[in-house]
Amino acid sequence: MRVLITGGAGFLGFNLANCLVEREHTVLVLDDLTAGDPRRLSNRVLLNRGDVRDIPKLWTLLQGVDCVYHLAARVRVPESIHYPGDYNHVNVGGTVALMEAMRDTGVRRVVFASSGALYGEQPAQPISEDCRPNPNSPYGVSKIAAEYYVATLGALYDIETVSLRIFNAYGPGQDLPPSYPPVIPQWLRQAQTGGSLVVFGDGTQTRDFVYVDDVVDALVRAATASGASRAVINVGSGREVSMNELAERVGEATGERVNVLHNQAQSPGVSRLVADVRLARDLLGWTPTTRLKDGLCLTLERDSRFKL
């Protein structure tokens, strides 16, 4: 196939792009490089720097494309609280622009990277796709709005659409910015360098951590799965892990005795979050295969930043 990946120099994007070129697909990437790193892309990937809201540029890139992976987004939940307008412009506006350009160029399928963050607090776990979204951040709101645009415009423009609600993805190459860093690479680094692991609240809150290779496998399958158009599908590990347990697993993976500090003043976020992944099995033939302890060890082995 010939595919375009928006946001293809980001964490999920570069892993997906490199996987697809290994399978002999032609891969174009569009990324504004505000967060992405082009050095992580294979030299066989055709990188284009630009904004996903630039429709004329999209017209050029979409010529002859069989499938679009729409990953371009701003993704930091705490940041979205301070800059909701930016998150709306990029995450929602960029999605609408892409769908318009796909209509104009005749591209027939899009796989949208949505997020488990849109579920928010739910009365029961695991969370299935028919649960009513209850986002607690502008980021989550932007993702559910983008999902609706993808499905609605897809139906109007005769474009096949698949939205994957990806939970807490992690793995080698995950961004580690100075502000709002993802918890797993942050804690791995802290453990290795003798720092304390700061847990918000009492640490009993749970999350679903899914290894990047499993996410890429789901994305690849979504491009060609029959009977999945208009579907919204959870992509997670299906295993509920408390933050206290995660701290223990980080200590085991690094071989370090970690010091855990509980910050009761900081909100821990939703109390529980774990994906029901049965629909992914039924529609994509996909199941997660990487256990958390194995994924942490693979992250340490494959990411040069953790080679001390």
Active-site positions read 139
Question: Cis link prior to 126 (omega < 30° from 0)?
Answer: yes
Strands 241-242 and 206-207: antiparallel
CB 8 within 8 A of CB 16: yes
Rg of the chain, C-alpha, whole Å: 19
Pairing of strands 209-211, 168-170: parallel
Amino acid at 149: Y
With b for 16 or more beta-carbon neighbours within 10 A and e for fewer, the 277-308 pattern comes to: bebbeebbebebebebeebbebbbeebeebee
Quote the crossing angle between the two packed helices 11-22 and 212-222, to the nearest 10°: 60
Residue where the block lists tokens 């987004």? 73
In contact, 70 and 113? CB cutoff 8 Å: yes
Q: How far apart are CA 92 and CA 149, in angstroms?
A: 8
Q: Is 291 left (phi over 0), alpha (psi -120 to 50) or beta?
A: beta
Handedness of CA 251, 15, 95, 275 (dihedral sign): negative
